[in-house]
Amino acid sequence: MSRVSGKVALVTGGAVGLGAATAKLLAKEGAQVVVTDINEDDGKQVAKDINDAGGDAIFIRHDVTDEAEWESVYEQTVGKFGRVDVVVNNAGTTHNRLPDEEDLDSWRRVMAVNVESVQMGTKHAILTMKKYPPRTQGSIINLSSIAGIAGIPNLSAYNASKGAVRLYTKGVALYCAENKLGIRANTVHPGYIWTPMVQGYVETTGASQEEGREQIAALHPIGEVGEPDDIAYGVLYLASDESKFVTGSELVIDGGYTAQ
């Protein structure tokens, strides 16, 4: 119950799915948590659930594509908790589109949410951590995907965005290490996890939720669909000092998908 005790963690896209599971687990393990999302109702509920369970959390409405809002989120986090130790750039989006059917507006929307928000979140994490040093080490955890490692034919923009996050984070890790900033940066690469985003993806295929879950499970050698906590525990490891020698790495949690 104390793997990240005393740390301050910021989790974007924290209202549902992977973000909500991550925020709750980090709080359970001792972190003070800032939950951000454009989904105010669910985000406030996640913070309330954490506080009702004896944790310490606040919710901030946050459009991750707006740099001014990023600056405000970090200012509010420091104002409340004094610093930030862990940043989880989890907010993301996708849409089901073949490469020759992709339209530029949709492509740009995916890039804004999945890539540009990670860049802004990471940039201001570094600036904030330099000004208000973390308790031990800073940890930036950027959510990529199996689609950042292996192509998925009908997710062209998503593939590109998650590949960008993967390599961008490696450069950040090297910069922080070479400049002895005391900040680590890593990516997490989930397989298909049963979240509202994946459930929405199933709807676009015309399959029922039950059929879609079975089809997705079959894609993974382990024979199951992942659950949000499967990813949250990976994030917890990277947030904790247990991973103090880990930077520029890819934590793949995919039921064997990319081993094929």
* Catalytic residue ranges: 158
For β-strands 86-89 and 56-61, DSSP reports them as unpaired
And the tokens for 222?
A: 């382990």
Q: What is the rounded distance in angstroms from the CA atom of residue 160 to the CA atom of residue 155? A: 9
And the tokens for 206?
A: 């015309």
Question: Which ranges constitute the DSSP H helices of 82-142?
Answer: 104-111, 117-131
